[in-house]
Amino acid sequence: MTALDRAFGTGFDRLAAWSDLLDAINVFPVADGDTGRNLVVSLVALKDFRTGADSARVTDQLLRSARGNSGNIATQFFSKLIQAPATPMGEALHRGARAAHQAVRTPRDGTMLTVFDTLADQLENGQQARDIADVPGLLDHLQATVQTSRNTLPRLRSAGVVDAGALGMYLFFEGFFYALIDRIEDCRPPSQRFPDSLHISAAFQEQEDQGYCVDTVLRARPETDTVIKNLTGKAESVVAIAHGDIVKLHFHTADRDTARQALEASGALVSWSEDDLARQVKTFQQRPLETRVHIATDGAASLTRADQQQYGFTLLDSYITTGGGSQPETRVVAEDLYRRMRAGEKVSTSQASVFERHQHYQRLIETYPQTLYLCVGSVFTGNYETAAAWQSRHDPDNRLRILDTGAASGRLAVVVLAAARLAARGADRDAVAALAQQSLTSCREYIFIDRLKYLAAGGRLSRPSALMGDLLRVKPVISPLPSGAEKIGTVKNQADQLRFARQRLDSDLAKAEAPLILLEYSDNRQWVEGLVADQLHQAFPSAEIILQPLSLTTGAHTGPGTWAVAVHPDPEGRQAASSTGVVQAPADHSPAYMERNTG
């Protein structure tokens, strides 16, 4: 791995670790809180970029994965920068800045475009990466550029924040250039660089945006360019990128149907995705208030980004790798992953880099007065050891408290949900930690595996054993415990699975007054949401039943057809609350069946 390879990976890791901050200050061009998410999804191909790789293939990956205004602009810049091994760094930066400008139909100063311009201006066209000596000076120029965005764009001036996309690029390049000179320890928290520009003013009035944010790819015909020019006059935030006969378009429109019809008439539509801007803005407006203790956990829990938005906790991703590359697990489209697995594609999981994890911990102590990190069980990953070692060196005030839960998947999820709800009711860190520890003694999870061959593909089981088990129709039931994932039974079919679950839950919830039941699905949502949920609702009418996608850290190993059920007998923490004097507030949920937004 070359220094430039490390630089791209470090830049991405730093961006990923601080992406939640970017979402929190994202008010331009629309206050929809997705700039960080879009940049991570769009630029993930840079994480494992290697010099000498097929740059055309990587460019195609960037183009197809680009999401949102920020992601589509950034991918144009980086599609040129990845050519730096064959092209002087200065020249690649100038090419990237030009490409980014050309993609935007209405360029605006004060955005990441200005950061690209500053970066290109600071380096001479023929300058090589190895000749960049004054990295601190270069970053000072970028910092000043980002800071000026607060006064350049009226919405940012009103909100009192810097542009989220511009800050994202600053964070990337701080990691990138310090990695080039082997000084990544010099990366500084954004709060030290931009101390008064990272919190939205209480007086800021968020506009009620209507319409849709569209990302689409089409195979162009000669008339496509005319259609795009016409679209530019009717839509907003238009970014158009051409790559061979493929055109990638991003735009905001109130009339998605007319726009789609026009594009379909001018070229073959390859893909189309849309987000409801009104819903995104409303979600952003309703983001949770800061609590006395912030909750963090790992993406290995069966929790979604929608849960994070609702409760305000932090999810620390691991990565899912397929033939198409790696993605943060909570950003992966589960339906696509399970389709790939059924088709025989190899899927694996990996932890975030140590640097990315360290950046996450830094963000937590810089952002919140106190954090409780409910860490996935140390028997499953090295996250607990990594976090504990970092905390002992960098957190003298003990702002980050780490609990090795010994849990994963749905069992970890129900513990986190109970903790987050108690925190939202005003409990302090000791009370929330007490509830979490109590929960770990009473919560259970049962994971029902359909086919053994996926465990074998991931090296969790020998292939002969898997083949024999599948031939004999053996379907194991496993549970993630502090000692590891233990097999606790075998069944023959779905009816047996459901019967096994009912028997265990009858025992686990015999004395529960208002338990929480988490139902987890893989590619079998319809069956789980229908038959399984209905039977459990009838059996446990006082329970809150939540439908949730299975953690992809688990699903990538257990495969399609897997489903699971996790239970918490006392999610309101009555016992923990009575022992700590925390006053109980009314629960913010229905006592019956409830479905999470899994977007």
Domain ranges for the chain, please list them. 3-193, 212-282, 288-599
Mean pLDDT of 242-270: 87
Q: For residue 84, what pLDDT is reported? A: 79
Q: Which two tokens stand for residue 390?
A: 């970092």
Helix, strand and coil in the chain, % to nearest 5: 50, 20, 30
Cβ distance 197 to 151 under 8 Å?
no
Provide the pLDDT confidence category of residue 590 given band limits of 50, 70 and 90: very low
Tell me what pLDDT residue 439 has.
96
Is the confidence at residue 96, as pLDDT, over 80?
A: yes
Identify the band that residue 223 occupies on the pLDDT scale cut at 50, 70 and 90.
Answer: low
3-193 has which fold? 1.25.40
**C-alpha to C-alpha distance for 424 and 414, rounded to whole angstroms:** 15
Euclidean distance between CA atoms 407 and 485, whole angstroms: 9
Strands 400-404 and 371-375: parallel
Top pLDDT among 392 and 87 is at: 392
Nearest to 506 by CA among 597, 598, 569: 569
Taking 50 as the threshold, does the pLDDT of residue 587 lie above it? no
The whole-number average pLDDT for the span 65-77 is 94
Mean pLDDT of the chain: 88
Question: Angle of helix 35-43 relative to helix 164-180, nearest 10 degrees?
Answer: 40
Among 143, 151, 200, 188, which Cα is nearest to 167's?
A: 143
Residue 591 has pLDDT above 80, yes or no: no
Could you confirm whether domain 212-282 is CATH 3.30.70.260?
yes
Mean pLDDT of 106-132: 89
pLDDT score recorded for residue 311: 94
Task: Tell me which of 127 and 157 has the higher pLDDT.
Answer: 157
Name the more confident of 338 and 472: 338
Q: How many CB atoms lie within 10 A of CB 463?
A: 13
Band of residue 209 on the pLDDT scale cut at 50, 70, 90: low
Alpha-carbon distance of 235 to 452, in angstroms, equals: 50
Please give the share of the chain, as a percent, with pLDDT higher than 70: 92
Residue 580 is predicted with a pLDDT of 45
Which structure tokens are listed for 161?
A: 């924040």
What tokens does 160 get?
């009192």
pLDDT at 592 over 90: no
pLDDT band at 465 (very low <50, low <70, confident <90, very high): very low
Say if residue 29 is preceded by a cis peptide, omega within 30 of 0.
Answer: yes
Whether 48 shows a pLDDT value over 50: the answer reads: yes
Tell me: pLDDT of 583 over 60.
no
Assessment of whether the complete model's pTM goes beyond 0.85: yes
Lowest mean pLDDT among 210-214, 317-321, 395-399: 210-214
For 288-599, which CATH class?
alpha beta
